[in-house]
Amino acid sequence: MNKKYRSVGRSIRKKGGVEKVKGDPVFAGDIELDNPLVLKVKRSAYAHALIRNINTEEALKIDGVKGVFTSKDIPGVNLLGIINRDQPLLAEERVRSLADGIALVAAETEEAAQLGIDAIHVEYEKLPAVFNPVEALKDGAPKIHAKGNVLFTRAVLKGNADDGFEKAYSIIEKEYTTSAIEHNYMEPDAGAGFVDEDGCLVIYASTQNPHYDHKELVSLFALEDENVRIIQAATGGGFGSKLDLNVQGFIGLALLHLKVPVRYVYSREEAYLATAKRHPFTIKIKTATDRDGRLIATRVRAVCNTGAYGSYGIAVASRSAVHGTGPYSVENVDIEVKCVYTNQTYCGAMRGFGAPQMALAHESQMDLHAEVLGIDPLAIRLLNGLEVGSLSGTGQLLTSSVGFKDCLHAIAPYYEEAKKSWVSTCSTPFKRRGVGLGAMWYGIGNTGVQNPSTARVTMEPDGTVTVFTGCAELGQGSTTVLCQIVAEILGISPDEISMVVGDTRYTTNAGATSASRQTYISGNAVKDAAESLANVLLTEAVNRLQVPKNTLVLENGEVTTTGNPDCGIGIAVLAGRIHDKGGVLSWQGYFDPETVPLDPKTGAGVPYATYAFACQMAMVEVDTLTGEVTVEKVVAAHDVGRAIHPENVVGQICGGVAMGVGFALMEKFEQGKTESMKDYHIPTASDVPEVVAIIVESEEPTGPFGAKGVGEPALIPTAPAVINGISSALNYRIYDLPASLERVLEASIQAGHFGVQEE
């Protein structure tokens, strides 16, 4: 990279960072409204039942209760779902899980709302329920949706797997399982709203997706676009679960009928009960190598449990199938992932969309192959790793920005050192140390479907710049990154740019803040708009400076000619002149990554325009007497294309590792048992290892300044690295997540480490 950037690549102060430290941003639960009513949802008493009758009369008589609503009060289409519509806002004739809402109460106080809920009488006819997806696939299993229990199947086929296994030197076949995971964002779901003087429903929401929320509400209530306005409130984390319509629909329903301010803040218990989880997977995988360790075939049969509704289940199944090979070149591929309905709480998007689950399988397999062949885990990854010119499982030719091996090389010195001097210097008997690797690839953006972003960049005649973007900022830093990109193009300081973010009245659709897509896709959209604006500024400057356009640059708030810094003109002057002439100073930008939809039978296609790559190494110490595991250190190398804001990238990596440690060692959501953080353990600061983050920049030609994404990739390699670390410490492998005290101690006993140690 020879060009010196002024904004891009610098860890500038986060937009709104100072305000956040001072406590200024207003979260949805803190929005001040005039005497808002509080809302509460009556949820199902059964995991599967028909509703015979809902009696709300008693509830309506309760002091302070202002309204009780059921599905009958929903004037539009009572179905939610961004990918497939199968989830009613409020149940009609059937409930499919304990999370299902049946009626909504609006009341003056929390107490009255609760009394109202208790006073609603629902007559059910209980139906047999099924919780295990394998059971749900059997003939005669309770049918959860009219179309049957299979939501979606994604196959990825390449070459001939049977031939591959025929020729193989070594074949390993195993089964892996992962647990349902609660996102556990710091801020439980919340929203508040009122009806403005034009009759528009104005809703502040904690969301990853204001423009989708808007679309859903318009459809639910059969309203015109302009009659719904969603404003993203300051949002305290989402991790995928705030892609769903959690409280927004209920707020809208109450506003529609009552026309007075309302608010709804989930308790932690309600967020646990009623919002999406990470899909638990059962993965059967069979992989084969030749004598040298080259992967020649992989066959995967995986089932993921989407619970009662689709939510983002189709995306999870599709992405996990595409990523089933891992970041490796495999000649013969036969992958099938089925996404199955059950009566569990629905599962949806969570950081990685199925790729973290799949990574446990492919990364464990890599280590197993290495062991059988007597080669090093790093070497086998280098041997098989994707590179420019590789063909993916979907037959996509990778043409650029494949920094996978760079990541492996970046890890190598730490890895060799840890193996040489750390593993053997274990401080106490009854502890064993191991070093494990986990690798991943991750397609940026949605899988084989259009997922454009739009944005507007506007300059006032006095030269001040405003960026309008629908891109939800969740604390990850997208607003800052988008600002940096515009600042770079326009040659001004990021401080001079105002950002208008996530307000459907003023911003246009940027798609969801998910799939690690915003830096790449919305980054390109703002870049496109800023370039259009830059172009008119430069054109105007040609007039003034009388030099060819290709010698002009935007720098320090001026247009100057290269090589002659004295000859320049301020952009404010140019903006004024353009304005006076009736020129355009407000430009819309657009970007949609080029993809080719996947063939429904073979999965062939180009699911993503670009991929992120990573490898992490975990240094793990296992207490062989108790099953306690300490992750001492994680070294994480991530190819992000280009780090627009390096500190943000490091932040994502550290957070991803923390979350990955939870996925690996302790997190497990069990419906009916797990109520809140009292019985669901996420890592504390003491559980999180030291993280050494290494940024690898293999520039993506279609990315804004070469950038790709890192949000989800940060998490994906951690759990397999920890599991491989435990396996190497114990010489015994764990195939099921989480690697709890029980599983690790059992492994230690099975491996013969529980007992008197010989010095």
Q: Which residues bind other proteins (CB under 8 A)?
A: 428-430, 623-628, 630, 665-666, 678, 681, 683-687, 740-742, 745-746, 749, 754-757
How far CA 325 is from CA of 109, 288, 391, in Å, comes to 53, 12, 11
Tokens matching residue 725: 């670390």
Closer residue to other proteins, CB minimum distance, 108 or 555: 108
Least Å distance between CB 475 and other proteins? 22
Adjacent-strand bridge partners of 332: 297
Shortest distance, position 626 Cβ to other proteins, whole Å: 5
> Closest separation between CB of residue 532 and other proteins, Å?
51
Rounded CA gap, 430 and 755, in Å? 8
Query: Residue 131: which H helix or E strand, with range?
Result: none
Which of 618, 593, 596, 615 minimizes the C-alpha distance to 702? 593
Q: Least CB distance from residue 755 to other proteins, whole Å? A: 7
> 200 vs 625, which CB is nearer to other proteins?
625
Sheet containing 281-289: give its strands across.
Answer: 150-158, 332-341, 295-307, 281-289, 170-177
Nearer CB in complex with other proteins: 235/624: 624
- Smallest separation (angstroms) from other proteins to the CB of 690: 14
Q: How far apart are CA 569 and CA 572, in angstroms?
A: 9
Contact assessment for residue 253 and residue 103, using Cβ atoms and an 8 Å cutoff: no
Torsion of CA 382, 383, 387, 389, to 10 degrees: 170
> Whose CA is closest to 250, among 278, 213, 209?
213
Q: Output 2 or 684, the one with its CB closest to other proteins.
A: 684
Cβ closest to other proteins, residue 506 vs residue 754: 754
Structure tokens at 357: 């689950």
**CB neighbours (10 Å) of residue 405?**
20
Closest contact distance (angstroms) between CB of 685 and other proteins is 7
Minimum Å distance from CB 113 to other proteins?
15
Residue among 691, 627, 734, 722 at smallest CA distance from 356: 722
In sequence order, the 6+-apart residues with CB closer than 8 A to the CB of 353 are 240, 312, 315, 316, 319, 320, 447, 514, 515, 712
Q: What is the dihedral of CA 289, 410, 607, 707, to 10 degrees?
A: -170
**Least spacing, CB of residue 686 vs other proteins, in Å:** 4
Maximum CA pair distance of the chain?
A: 88
Q: Give the dihedral sign, CA 218/221/224/229.
A: negative
Q: Which of 621, 614, 664, 613 is nearest to 636 (CA)?
A: 614
Q: What one-character-per-residue DSSP string does 569-635 give? A: EEHHHHHHHHHHTT---EEEEEE----BPPPTTT--SB--S-EEEEEEEEEEEEETTT--EEEEEEE
C-alpha 30/C-alpha 27 separation (Å) is 5
Q: How far is the CB of 396 from other proteins (least distance, A)?
A: 41
| Residue 635: CA count within 13 A, CB half-sphere | 19
Nearer to other proteins, 212 or 680 (CB): 680
Q: Cβ 664 to other proteins, closest distance in Å?
A: 12
In whole angstroms, how close is the CB of 618 to other proteins at the nearest point?
A: 16
For residues 309 and 135, the answer to whether their CB atoms sit within 8 Å is no
Least Å distance, CB 44 to other proteins, is 20
The least CB distance from residue 430 to other proteins, in Å, is 6
Of 445 and 627, CB closest to other proteins: 627
- For 441-459, the three-class secondary structure string (H helix, E strand, C coil) is EEECCCCCCCCCEEEEEEE
Q: Which is nearer to other proteins, 581 or 673 (CB)?
A: 673
Enter the tokens of residue 45: 């008493």
Question: Judged by CB, which is closer to other proteins: 83, or 181?
Answer: 181
Instruction: Name which of 397, 436, 420, 459 is nearest 607 in CA terms.
Output: 397
Nearer to other proteins (CB atom), residue 579 or residue 681: 681
Nearest-CA neighbor of 211 among 459, 514, 415?
514
Q: Which is nearer to other proteins, 322 or 691 (CB)?
A: 691
Burial letters 210-222, b for 16+ CB under 10 A, else e: bbbbbbbbbbbbe
Cβ closest to other proteins, residue 5 vs residue 430 = 430
Of residues 419, 499, 521, the one with CA closest to residue 232: 499
Please state the closest distance from residue 268 (CB atom) to other proteins, in A.
10
Q: What is the DSSP letter of 48?
A: S
Specify the residue, 50 or 682, whose C-beta has the smaller distance to other proteins: 682
What is the chain's alpha carbon radius of gyration, rounded to the nearest angstrom? Answer: 27
* Residue nearer to other proteins on the CB measure, 10 or 681: 681
Q: Least CB distance from residue 692 to other proteins, whole Å?
A: 20
Q: How far is the CB of 19 from other proteins (least distance, A)?
A: 26
C-beta of 679: minimal distance to other proteins in Å?
A: 9
3-state secondary structure 254-276: HHHHHCCCEEEECCHHHHHHHCC
Q: Please identify, using beta-carbon distances, which residue of 426 and 749 lies nearer to other proteins.
A: 749
Nearest-CA neighbor of 69 among 308, 256, 309, 264? 256
Residue number, 116 or 193, with CB nearest to other proteins:
116
Q: Which two tokens stand for residue 152?
A: 């979606």
Sheet holding 94-95, edge to edge: 94-95, 49-55, 121-126
CB-nearer residue toward other proteins: 179 or 208: 179
Query: How many Cα atoms sit within 13 Å of 277 on the Cβ side?
Result: 29
Q: How far is the CB of 689 from other proteins (least distance, A)?
A: 11
Cβ-based nearer residue to other proteins, 114 or 153: 114
